[in-house]
Chain A
Amino acid sequence: DSGVTQTPKHLITATGQRVTLRCSPRSGDLSVYWYQQSLDQGLQFLIQYYNGEERAKGNILERFSAQQFPDLHSELNLSSLELGDSALYFCASSAGTQGANEKLFFGSGTQLSVL
Chain B
Amino acid sequence: GQSLEQPSEVTAVEGAIVQINCTYQTSGFYGLSWYQQHDGGAPTFLSYNALDGLEETGRFSSFLSRSDSYGYLLLQELQMKDSASYFCAVRGAGNMLTFGGGTRLMVKP
A residues contacting B by CB (< 8 A) are 2, 33, 35, 41-45, 48, 55-58, 90, 92, 99, 101-109
Compute how far the CA of A45 lies from the CA of B87 in the bound complex, rounded to whole angstroms. Answer: 13
**5 tightest A-B CB contacts, nearest first:** A106-B42, A56-B95, A43-B99, A42-B101, A102-B48
Q: Which residue of A lies closest to B101 (CB)?
A: A42
Nearest CB on A from B48, distance (A): 4
A2/B44 in contact, CB under 8 A = yes
Compute how far the CA of A115 lies from the CA of B27 in the bound complex, rounded to whole angstroms. Answer: 39
New A-B contacts (19) at CB < 8 Å, excluding given A45-B96, A55-B95, A104-B45: A2-B44, A41-B101, A42-B101, A42-B102, A43-B87, A45-B97, A45-B99, A56-B96, A90-B42, A102-B50, A102-B97, A103-B33, A103-B45, A103-B48, A104-B33, A104-B35, A104-B43, A104-B97, A105-B45
B97/A33 in contact, CB under 8 A = yes
Compute how far the CA of A57 lies from the CA of B33 in the bound complex, rounded to whole angstroms. Answer: 19
Q: Of B45, B87, B97, B99, which one neighbours A48 at CB under 8 angstroms?
A: B97
Chain A residues within an 8 Å CB radius of B91: 101-102
Chain A residues within an 8 Å CB radius of B45: 103-105
Chain B residues within an 8 Å CB radius of A2: 42, 44
Q: Any chain A CB within 8 A of the CB of B58?
A: no
Compute how far the CA of A41 lies from the CA of B100 in the bound complex, rounded to whole angstroms. Answer: 10
Q: Any chain A CB within 8 A of the CB of B98?
A: yes
B42/A109 in contact, CB under 8 A = yes
Compute how far the CA of A90 lies from the CA of B98 in the bound complex, rounded to whole angstroms. Answer: 14
**Scoring B residues 20 to 32 as 1 if CB is less than 8 Å from chain A, else 0, what string do you get?**
0000000000110
Nearest CB on A from B35, distance (A): 8
Chain B residues within an 8 Å CB radius of A92: 43
Nearest CB on B from A49, distance (A): 11
Chain B residues within an 8 Å CB radius of A44: 99
A45, A55, A102, A103: which has the most chain B beta carbons within 10 Å?
Answer: A102
A45-B96, A56-B96, A58-B96 known; A106 and B101 CB under 8 Å?
A: no
